[in-house]
């Protein structure tokens, strides 16, 4: 890890212990406030830390953003913004779902039409294999003229 990464890691570890001001961090690290300020700005931009103004006391300090975690030498987001945003795929998923429903509906209708085409009308008392659809003569459509 480079010197810059080491400094950011040290700042992060310091802020894990307690909230600190720019002056506190600068003094503990032995770095110029302008250098520390640049590191803090980069860490703020990444979302790893937050800047807090305590109005009654007029203090300005930095604290860890608990929605983030440090890992492998860099700040790594651990919040909903860094995770996959499923809202972005809403329209494609809706289109795919509509196509699947249409295909399912088509096969249902086609299956019913096929089943209707396979219906056998038997005279009363005739035998059929188990599981077959049986209709009485009175159920036959009028175009059979039975």
Per-residue pLDDT tens digits for 89-131 = 666 777 787 888 887 777 666 666 555 555 555 566 666 555 5
What secondary structure letter does DSSP report for 142?
A: G
Q: Is 40 exposed, middle or buried (0-12, 13-18, 19+ CB in 10 A)?
A: buried
> Among candidates 66, 51, 61, which has minimal Cα distance to 20?
61
| pLDDT in the model for residue 58 | 78
CB half-sphere exposure, 33, CA atoms < 13 A: 4
The residues of the chain scoring below 70 in pLDDT are 1-2, 4, 68-91, 107-146
| pLDDT in the model for residue 75 | 45
Q: Delineate the domains of the chain, giving CATH numbers in brackets.
A: 3-77 (1.10.10.10), 86-144 (no CATH)
Tokens representing residue 32 in the block: 């110029």
| pLDDT in the model for residue 73 | 43
| pLDDT in the model for residue 94 | 73
């Amino acid at each position: 890890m480079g010197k810059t990464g080491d400094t950011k890691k040290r700042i992060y570890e310091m802020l894990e212990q307690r909230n600190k001001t720019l002056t506190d961090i600068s003094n503990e690290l032995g770095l110029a406030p302008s250098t520390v300020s640049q590191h803090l700005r980069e860490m703020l931009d990444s979302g790893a830390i937050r800047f807090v103004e305590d109005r009654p006391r007029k203090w300005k300090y930095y604290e860890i953003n608990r929605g983030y975690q440090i890992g492998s030498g860099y700040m790594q987001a651990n919040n909903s913004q860094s995770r996959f945003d499923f809202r972005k795929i809403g329209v494609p998923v809706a289109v795919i779902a509509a196509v699947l429903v249409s295909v399912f509906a088509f096969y249902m209708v086609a299956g019913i039409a096929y089943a209707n085409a396979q219906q056998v009308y038997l005279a009363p008392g005739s035998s059929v294999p188990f599981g077959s659809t049986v209709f009485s003569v009175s159920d036959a459509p009028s175009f059979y003229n039975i």
